[in-house]
Amino acid sequence: MTKAISPRSRKVRVLATLGPASNTPEMIAKLFEAGADAFRVNMSHGDQQSKVAVIEAIRGLERQYGRPTTILADLQGPKLRVGRFAEGRVMLETGQRFTLDRSSEPGDATRVELPHQEIFAAIARDARLLLDDGKLVLRVLDHDDEKIVTEVVVGGALSNSKGLNVPDVVLPMAALTPKDISDLHFAVEQRVDWIALSFVQRPEDLAEARKLIQGKAALLAKIEKPSAVARLEEIVEQCDGVMVARGDLGVELPPQSVPPLQKRIVETARRLGRPVVVATQMLESMITSPSPTRAEVSDVATAVYDGADAIMLSAESAAGSWPVESVTMMNDIAHAVERDPAHGDRVHFTVLRPDPTTADALAEAAKNIAATVDAKAILCFTKSGSTARRIARERPAVPIMVLTPQIDTARRLGLLWGVHAVHTRDVASFEEMVAKAKRMVLRHNIAKAGDRVVVCAGVPFGTPGSTNVLHVVQIVGDELKNYKGFEA
């Protein structure tokens, strides 16, 4: 008999980044027990071989806890940097001229190498160049194929190989570098569930990654550049999920513009039925402190109230001194918000209109029927996961239990709001569907005797994309006692 596993009692998912502070099997298990639903593997740090053991440890949770695990591999993307200085460091004064050029000679207080030809081709007069995470700001006065002459708008110290952001133009650069392509192939070979693409500027940037993935993982677009915001809806339509990458957005845009943008990205993703992750600096102070600031707690709560599918920890869980505590805190904040009687109204503030399809109509009906008959859960049978995504888009007040014969589908659903996925054998008839639905909600402690459950499925069974059945079942309570078979 399958071990009984209760689902999380909250609906928003917690995505924890793994790193030096948390990449052992013991720590990964502690993070899972503290509330982590999915794990981010950052391909920017370490080599591929070091990631193999981490991925194996995450998958080991499936045997330990009897629940599918979810892994997101985050590709680094192009990194724009200035060259090196003869003295290692210079001081730029506000108002002075400073030149970025193609010469490989060590720089000084008047010039430095810019080893990115694409920037020379795309730059425009008055465009801003941001250095060292936006600490220094330059404005373009003149440019040609060999040099970019700027005025220092905000000065400060600049040292070797500091990062460069170009927020005001679309750069003719692919989102995938040779390193990213190698890392993507590695991630696909390791059967990760999601691949996050950095440096997305336009919908076309997703095409190459989609082609290389070949359907073997879901594709998540990181929204971190103003050019991506300008074509947000097109980008969301071309991917399987999105991330509000607030760190880079906050560098390339004024900080005060990020909160309304976060709400806009979350709303767009929800409206188009794509899971959305809110990320970066959510509990930043917990890198060094065992407790967060009140402002950070409010920030996490806002993402939960907005109806984000997942909230993410970065350095807090990857390299901080309190990885387990940071996951516990995020879990506790989410619980507190979802217990708020006003939470349901705020989550449904975004107006969603179903597409004119049978599947969308049934997903909306499932939510409404569950509320009307006071059902304890919505249970759906799916192969591709599309039924689960449609139901999660509606943000029902009850848990969504998903039964699927595809382990890859079960794992990918770990980023979806309110979903408890179970990898199990498929059903072949309506009667078998009803009987299995009753048994599984009892096994997983989702419902008990006398409770109602709304069941969604497609007939004929085993046909992807054929959701056309909605059925309300009532649990008697003796379904497991009368069932003699083994359930997998």
- Give the catalytic positions in this structure: 40, 81, 222, 280
For the packed helices 48-65 and 25-34, what is the interaxial angle rounded to 10 degrees? 50
- Which amino acid does the sequence have at 220? L
Return d(Cα 214, Cα 344) in angstroms, integer: 38
| Beta carbons of 385 and 462 less than 8 angstroms apart | no
- Which amino acid does the sequence have at 153? V
| Beta carbons of 338 and 304 less than 8 angstroms apart | yes
Residues 6+ away with beta carbon under 8 Å from 234: 202, 203
What is the 8-class DSSP label of residue 93? P
Per-residue CA distances from 412 to 79, 307, 357, 388 (Å): 28, 19, 24, 11
**Beta-ladder partners of 104:** none
Return d(Cα 225, Cα 204) in angstroms, integer: 15
Maximum distance among all Cα pairs of the chain, rounded to whole angstroms: 83
SS3 of residue 130 by DSSP: strand
Return the structure tokens found at 324: 């387990």
Pairing state of beta strands 147-154 and 156-159?
unpaired
| Beta carbons of 284 and 296 less than 8 angstroms apart | yes
Return d(Cα 318, Cα 19) in angstroms, integer: 4
Q: How many CA atoms lie within 13 A of 308 on its CB side?
A: 27
Nearest 5 degrees, angle CA 237-CA 241-CA 244? 105
C-alpha R_g of the chain: 24
- Which amino acid does the sequence have at 451? D
Return d(Cα 171, Cα 231) in angstroms, integer: 15
Return the structure tokens found at 108: 């000084």
Task: Please report which residue ranges of 351-429 form alpha helices under DSSP H.
Answer: 358-372, 386-393, 407-412
Q: Which residue has the tokens 């160049």?
A: 129
Return the structure tokens found at 141: 């006065």
Return d(Cα 367, Cα 190) in angstroms, integer: 36
